Amino acid sequence: MGTSGESIGRSRWLVAAIGLTVCVFVISHLPLPEGTFPADLGTGVGDKVPHGVVYGGLAWLYLLALASRGHSLWRPIGVVLLVLAIGAVDEVTQLLVGRSCSLIDWLADVVGISLAGVVWGVWLWVSPACVPLPSTGGAELGIAPPRRGCAPRESGR
């Protein structure tokens, strides 16, 4: 079981994740006339990179809040599935405000979410077993720094 500082840190990540989810829904449901938002953003691939980055960041925040080392592999998978569902609902409900519902946009979300999930998995795999969250060095965020004297995972994974 984690310390109360870890619990507070996870709560803050959850508040940030929910806040970003609300912001994404509000922004993506504004009925904007065609051409109001720059279609390319200088990437050459339209708005797909921002889709991937935003949903990858959203997945990372939910992973920080809800998935921890002390739980099975199903917890992070569940978090990734949750964020995939959020992206799908976001796309479909844009039809209600006269915006387009795009499978390609959702696939860009999937790429960002999947990348966040893979990075999370690799981070858990290579980090010491006792580190509950990435250390920001800031106790002001309520995140416990890595405890000293922790042994890395055994090599026989």
Each domain of the chain, given as residue ranges in start order, spans 4-30+48-129
Whole-number Cα distances in Å, 111 to 11, 14, 105, 106: 26, 22, 10, 9
Cα dihedral value 104, 109, 114, 116, nearest 10: 150
The encoded tokens of residue 51 equal 């889709």
Segments of the chain with pLDDT less than 50:
1, 130-131, 133-136, 138-157
State residue 75's pLDDT score. Answer: 80
DSSP one-letter code for 102 = -
Q: Are 48 and 104 in contact (CB under 8 A)?
A: yes
What are φ and ψ of residue 156, in 5° steps? -85, 60
Measured in Å, how far apart are the chain's first and last C-alpha atoms? 23
State residue 128's pLDDT score. Answer: 59
The encoded tokens of residue 150 equal 């922790």
**What is the C-alpha to C-alpha distance for residues 130 and 13, in angstroms, rounded to an integer?**
19
Q: Are 64 and 135 in contact (CB under 8 A)?
A: no
State residue 36's pLDDT score. Answer: 59
